[in-house]
Amino acid sequence: MTPQHSFTVQLTPEQQDRLSVLLRTGNYTPLVIPHARIATEGPNCRISLYKSGKCLVQGKGARDWVEFVLEPQVLQEARLGYEEIRQPGMFQPHLGVDESGKGDFFGPLVISAVYVDERLTRLFRDMNVRDSKTITSERRALDMDEAIRRASGGRFAVVTIGPRAYNRLYASMGNVNRILAWGHARAIENVLEKTPDCPRAVADQFGPKRQIEQALMKKGRKIKLEQRPRAESDPAVAAASIVARAAFVRALAQLGKQYEVTIPKGASDAVRQVAVKLVQARGPQILLDAAKCHFRTTDAVLAEAGLSRAALGPEGQAVSKARKEVKA
Q: Is the dihedral of CA 222, 228, 233, 238 positive or negative?
A: positive
pLDDT of residue 82: 44
Within the chain, which residue ranges are assigned CATH 3.30.310.10? 6-80
Quick one: angle between helices 118-126 and 235-259, nearest 10? 60
106 in Cβ contact with 291 (< 8 Å): yes
Q: Please report the pLDDT score of residue 15 as a whole number.
A: 93
Distances (CA, A) of 1 to 123, 125, 126, 297: 8, 10, 6, 44
φ/ψ of residue 45, rounded to 5: -160, 160
Whose CA is closest to 168, among 326, 297, 314?
314
Contacts of 157 (CB under 8 A, 6+ apart): 112, 113, 186, 187, 188, 190, 191
Between CA 209 and CA 228 the distance in angstroms is 10
How confident is the model at residue 328, as a pLDDT? Answer: 35
pTM exceeds 0.85:
no
pLDDT at 86: 53
Give average pLDDT by consecutive 10-residue segment, the chain, 328 residues: 72 94 94 94 94 91 90 82 57 94 97 96 84 84 95 97 96 93 96 95 88 86 89 91 97 96 95 97 96 95 94 88 64
Q: How far apart are CA 280 and CA 75, in angstroms?
A: 55
Class of the domain covering 86-253: alpha beta
Say if CB 309 and CB 320 are below 8 A apart: yes
Ranges for all domains in the chain classified under CATH 3.30.420.10: 86-253
Q: What is the pLDDT of residue 220?
A: 81
The pLDDT assigned to 326 comes to 54
Quickly list DSSP for 90-129.
GGSSEEEEEEE-TT-SBS-EEEEEEEE-HHHHHHHHHTT-
In the prediction, which pLDDT does 165 show?
97
Q: Under a CB-based contact definition with an 8 Å cutoff, are residues 251 and 164 in contact?
A: no
pLDDT of residue 172: 93
CATH 3.10.20.30 at 6-80, yes or no: no
